[in-house]
Amino acid sequence: MFRIPSALRRPLAVAGAAFLGLAAAVVIGGSPASAHHSTVVGAAECDTNTGEYVVNWTVTSDAPPQADHYKFYEVIARQWVGEQVTEVQVPNIAVTEDFPHATNEALKSGEIRYAGNTTQLRLQVKAKWNNGYKETDWRGQTLKLSGDCKPDMPKPHAEANSDCENLVITLSNKADATKAATFVVKGDKGFEKEVTIAKDGEPVTVTIPKAEAGNVTVTEKGTKDWSEKFSWKDPGNCGVPEGTYEATCDSLTFRGENPADGVEVKVTFTPNEGEAVTRTLKPGTEMEPVVFEGKDGLKVTVSSEGAEDQVIDYDAEKPKECDEDTPTLPVTGSNAGAIAGGAGGLLVVGAAVFFFARRRRLRFTA
């Protein structure tokens, strides 16, 4: 067995005691530092209704049971807008004299709002606990923001064109819109219509008769100081080419005229038997008549671009007396000539009235 010489026992005992004391001091003195700790966490979101950043800060504290409350003895909160830095206040997170905050419970700042052009936020704290321990290093977090938080907004657009009968307004919500657009189209003669277009919706047209389109205002409910004004304007060439046809016992005749403000139109007359005839009717001119021999069963189709075909049935249009035998008038005595003359005059007048009554109008379209 190995024995320590008696001369060494005392020095070794002193050294061992010193070592144990030092170890105990390290354990006792170091444990508070490792057990006390605060953490800062921040979160930011863009509120697209207002165009502001909504920020919430949370501070948590860890400490041994004997340190059940803490306070902040230093706080720094800053906001950056580009290179410009501003000191700001954070609710609930401030320097105090007492120890108002319970350890191991999350401390929340509550909602804080910052302008949408904010590019950075930072919160730093130093905490002290009621057992006397305090942090010497800053605890904190920096939030990097884009600086382009903007409210959801419609991007209204309106344009108008006039045709010969209507004012046509085309409404659209531009491609960069972030919100639906609600348009109100109102005229000074009673016309009013509301149209909503989604942020990615297709354009919508609103047609207003020219009689109601003297002064029309377009507004968008969610866009301040935006409006457009329109009114119907004569686009020109609004005259309507028209034609007539006349059916007699011998023929079916078509005539036409085009007003000076009309549009050149090409009209084709196609009989059910025989060759078609085409006429070009220029503005301010009359058409050379188109005549077809009046035959039983004749039908003529009138065609012009942009209009439905019109079929004229000769048998249905010709005067009824064309199918009747001319009666022989019983004439006697010296007055027979005068009577015959008078009767002939009545027949002429009657035929003329009937003839014009049988006229029909045709409408040509360019």
Q: Per the domain annotation, does 335 fall within a domain?
A: no
Q: Per the domain annotation, does 225 fall within a domain?
A: yes
Q: Per the domain annotation, does 212 fall within a domain?
A: yes
- Separation between Cα atoms, residue 22 and residue 24, nearest integer Å: 5
Q: Do 275 and 250 share a structural domain? A: yes
What's the pLDDT tens digit per position in 17-55? 444 444 444 444 444 455 899 999 999 999 998 999 999
C-beta separation of 159 from 183 below 8 A: no
Q: Per the domain annotation, does 26 fall within a domain?
A: no
The helix/strand/coil state of 228 is: strand
- Separation between Cα atoms, residue 67 and residue 62, nearest integer Å: 9
Domain count, the chain: 3
pLDDT at 33 (0 to 100): 53
pLDDT at 337 (0 to 100): 30
Q: Per the domain annotation, does 4 fall within a domain?
A: no
What's the pLDDT tens digit per position in 90-109? 999 999 999 999 998 999 99
Q: Do 311 and 254 share a structural domain? A: yes
pLDDT at 3 (0 to 100): 54
Q: Do 83 and 51 share a structural domain? A: yes
Domain enclosing residue 282, as ranges: 242-327+347-363
Q: Do 224 and 124 share a structural domain? A: no
Q: Do 138 and 160 share a structural domain? A: no
Q: Identify the burial level of 305 via C-beta atoms within 10 angstroms of its C-beta, where 0-12 means exposed, 13-18 middle and 19 or more buried.
A: exposed
Q: Is the pLDDT score of 352 beyond 90?
A: no
Backbone angles phi, psi at 271, to 5 degrees: -80, 160
> Residues near 210 by Cβ (< 8 Å), separated by ≥ 6?
162, 165, 166, 167, 232
CATH number, domain of 106, equals 2.60.40
| Of the residues 230, 251, 273, the one at which a domain ends | 230
Q: Per the domain annotation, does 189 fall within a domain?
A: yes
Can you name the residues that pair with 85 across neighbouring β-strands? 80
> Residues near 325 by Cβ (< 8 Å), separated by ≥ 6?
none
Q: Per the domain annotation, does 237 fall within a domain?
A: no
Average pLDDT over residues 137-166: 95
